[in-house]
Homo-oligomer: A and B are copies of this chain.
């Protein structure tokens, strides 16, 4: 059973000890969670440049020094190799295995990228009185490949992946404003309305995640999604990449509200 009053540091310690290995959605409500992408140093400049050129789908919260397993900014004394509940190990772009402890794979040349997550702005939407459909329906958010090109950087390139949240038209402006002030967690929507304009043919067939109900008259609203950099990394087939398993994130010490400008 979850202790709703546990601090992020307490939850990270339980995860480190293997006492929590499941998804982190809803844990430590109000604190930002982070995605992970770990790459050998040889790929780090291209990936950092990709994130600089595409900050909306790839908002970087912290970058480790090469070989450093500890975080210093977004979570005090967090161990990157053990404090996510589950990791994915990719070799040459192919999923090799899922593990709950990435320590055996750590190397002195690994650079860790901690990336902002839409959980943070969903809290903001709920706080603004805007219901979030996939949360209501107990599903994963629907995500779609678009025809919106990212700016390439070295070996990394690809189109943007977006997440979709449907809502009545009279909530759209509030949703834009509630998220625009949080660019470190994807910020404002990238598209509002007609899915075909961004290359989505069927709103009921997401490329990732689950389909959700869109009621008659509702407007689909599309946000830049953190799957974008993951897809770009997988397509580039680096010799090694370590990521979090979907939904199994790091719980940071940063309150969501502190991510606002």
Contacts and interface: CB of A to CB of B under 8 A. Distances in A.
A188 B52 contact: no
Contact of A261 (B45, B60, B181): B181
A183 interface: yes
Interface string A16-30: 000000000000000
A63 interface: yes
A73 interface: yes
A151 B65 CA distance: 12
Interface size class of A (residues with CB under 8 A): 10 to 19
Contacts of A187: 261
A129 to B, nearest CB: 22
Contacts of A188: 261
A9 interface: no
Contacts of A63: 49, 52-53
A258 to B, nearest CB: 14
Interface string A220-261: 000000000000000000000000000000000000000001
B45 A180 contact: no
A44 B45 CA distance: 8
Contacts of A53: 63, 73
Interface in A37-53: 44-45, 48-49, 51-53
A53 B113 CA distance: 12
Given A48-B45, A63-B49, A183-B183, A73 B151 contact: yes
Given A45-B45, A52-B63, A180-B261, 8 more contacts: A48-B48, A48-B52, A49-B63, A51-B52, A52-B52, A52-B60, A53-B63, A181-B261
